[in-house]
């Protein structure tokens, strides 16, 4: 009987020790591997200094998934009926767009026509718009952190970037003004302007200078001279990549005095749904082109006919 008790005790201790060793080993592996072993990783920040992943193909997805939600950047998940277009209860379908970026308009784009060329253009430009808006969101967060940490030096650097006079303004006022400027541009509006200004990605300026938004420069080496221009010094600004063009366009809307009313109206819409935002803000872009109100009407028609508002809640996957 004593022998049996000894054997049972030995086996019990043996397996207990083995389990302790195995569990300790697993903990070591987890420690070296990090949180990524469970699919959890630190947030990935869009670094404007780093080149994005380049691909000759850009894919969009209509799967339900994470979305940036309202403009306070709260992350939400909304379930919709697959393939139903408009889901129930007035919730709009959310699109996840692949985090793949194209540097230049590919030659294959020019061989397309009609709706196929429009779809190709949207697949090229949409991820760039979303990435540029992501960068602005991170800037807003950095500005808010600087304010909370009473970091005046950082706030003054942001003020310089966004062309704000920081003198005679305390941190409260300076931060409020910065956050009004450092804000995202509605996706549908950016898509519409890119389509109009670049001829859906077929213009000479888009092909030769990656210029999607027809921004002017006043130094000859900074861009491409138009065939007809009222100012002999004027050129259409060129960029190293398409992404550079999108970032410069957003910075222009966020800093130029001509778009002060645009920024003020946008600030008043922060607590409202993004759907329909473009239709409200487009009227403040009459000074973007010489044709004024006719330009606004052209954008409104393009947004409506091509249903660009469906991308209002798109986000990068």
For residues 105 and 206, state if they share a domain.
Answer: yes
* pLDDT the model gives residue 231: 67
pTM: 0.72
What is the Cα–Cα distance from 55 to 124, expressed in whole angstroms?
10
The verdict on residue 111 lying in a domain is yes
For residues 113 and 147, state if they share a domain.
Answer: yes
Q: How is residue 38 annotated by DSSP?
A: G
Task: Write out the residue range of the structural domain in which residue 14 sits.
Answer: 2-37
What is the Cα–Cα distance from 281 to 279, expressed in whole angstroms?
6
The verdict on residue 19 lying in a domain is yes
For residues 187 and 294, state if they share a domain.
Answer: yes
Compute the chain's Rg from CA coordinates.
Answer: 26
For residues 230 and 134, state if they share a domain.
Answer: yes
What's the average pLDDT block by block, 10 residues per block, for the chain (317 residues)? 45 47 41 31 33 32 29 29 35 80 96 96 98 98 98 97 96 97 97 98 96 86 76 86 97 97 94 82 95 96 96 93
The verdict on residue 45 lying in a domain is no
Strands 315-316 and 96-97: parallel
For residues 28 and 66, state if they share a domain.
Answer: no
The verdict on residue 254 lying in a domain is yes
Name the domain count of the chain.
2
For residues 10 and 111, state if they share a domain.
Answer: no
Q: How is residue 185 annotated by DSSP?
A: -
| Positive or negative: CA dihedral 60, 65, 70, 75 | negative
The verdict on residue 53 lying in a domain is no
Q: Could you tell me which residues come within 8 angstroms of residue 314 by beta carbon, excluding any fewer than 6 positions away?
A: 94, 95, 96, 97, 126, 130, 187
Q: How many CA atoms lie within 13 A of 206 on its CB side?
A: 23
For residues 6 and 136, state if they share a domain.
Answer: no
Strand intervals (E) in the chain: 60-61, 66-67, 76-77, 96-97, 216-217, 223-224, 235-237, 315-316
The verdict on residue 49 lying in a domain is no
> How many helices and strands (H and E) does the chain possess?
11, 8
The verdict on residue 82 lying in a domain is yes
For residues 131 and 87, state if they share a domain.
Answer: yes
For residues 102 and 21, state if they share a domain.
Answer: no
* pLDDT the model gives residue 78: 29
Residue 198 contacts residue 209 (beta carbons within 8 Å): no
For residues 146 and 23, state if they share a domain.
Answer: no
* pLDDT the model gives residue 256: 96
Q: What is the CATH number of the domain that holds 206?
A: 1.10.530.10
Strand partners, 224: 236
* pLDDT the model gives residue 160: 97
If you search the block for the tokens 């549908």, which residue do you land on?
A: 188
If you search the block for the tokens 């469970």, which residue do you land on?
A: 38
For residues 10 and 71, state if they share a domain.
Answer: no
The verdict on residue 255 lying in a domain is yes
For residues 138 and 72, state if they share a domain.
Answer: yes
* pLDDT the model gives residue 233: 76
Residue 289 contacts residue 295 (beta carbons within 8 Å): yes
């Amino acid at each position: 009987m004593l022998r049996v008790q000894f054997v049972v005790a030995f086996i019990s201790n043996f397996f207990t020790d083995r389990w302790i060793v195995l569990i300790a080993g697993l903990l070591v592996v987890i420690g070296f591997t990090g949180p990524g072993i469970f699919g959890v990783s630190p947030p990935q920040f869009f670094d404007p200094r780093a080149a994005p992943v380049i691909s000759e193909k850009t894919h969009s997805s209509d799967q339900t998934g994470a979305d940036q939600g309202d403009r306070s950047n709260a992350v939400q998940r909304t379930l919709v009926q697959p393939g139903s277009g408009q889901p129930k209860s007035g919730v709009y379908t959310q699109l996840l767009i692949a985090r793949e970026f194209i540097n230049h308009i590919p030659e294959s784009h020019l061989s397309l026509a009609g709706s196929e060329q429009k779809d190709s253009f949207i697949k090229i430009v949409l991820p760039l718009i979303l990435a540029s808006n992501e960068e602005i969101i991170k800037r807003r967060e950095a500005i808010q952190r600087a304010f909370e940490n009473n970091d005046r030096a950082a706030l003054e650097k942001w003020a310089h970037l966004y062309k704000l006079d920081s003198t005679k303004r305390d941190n409260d006022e300076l931060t409020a003004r910065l956050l009004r400027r450092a804000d995202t541009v509605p996706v549908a509006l950016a898509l519409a302007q890119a389509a109009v200004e670049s001829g859906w990605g077929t213009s000479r300026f888009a092909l030769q200078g990656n210029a999607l938004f027809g921004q002017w420069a006043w130094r000859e080496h900074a861009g491409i001279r138009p065939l007809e221009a009222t100012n002999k010094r004027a050129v259409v600004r060129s960029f190293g990549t398409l992404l550079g063009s999108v970032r410069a366009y957003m910075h222009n809307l966020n800093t130029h005095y001509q778009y002060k009313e645009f920024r003020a109206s946008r600030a008043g819409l922060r607590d409202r749904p993004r759907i329909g935002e473009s239709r409200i803000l487009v009227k403040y872009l009459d000074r973007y082109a010489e044709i004024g109100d006719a330009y606004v009407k052209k954008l409104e028609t393009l947004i409506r006919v091509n249903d660009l508002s469906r991308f209002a809640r798109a986000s990068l996957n």
